[in-house]
Structure 1
Amino acid sequence: MKSVNIGAVSADMLPDVGGMAFDNSQSRKQRMSSFLRQAANPYCFCVGGVGVKIEFAEDGPTLQDALCAFLLRQRSGL
Structure 2
Amino acid sequence: MPLYIEDRLRWIREMRQKSPCKRCGLLYNHHIKAKCPDCGTLDSHELRELLAQKEVIIGDLRRMGWIFAALALGCTLLFFW
Q: TM-score over 0.5 for the alignment?
A: no
Return the index of the structure with the highest Cα Rg. 2
Q: Which structure is richer in relative contact order (CA contacts within 8 A, separation 6 or more)?
A: 1
More strand by share: 1
With the length of structure 1 as denominator, give the TM-score of the two structures.
0.31
Relative to the length of structure 2, the TM-score reads 0.30
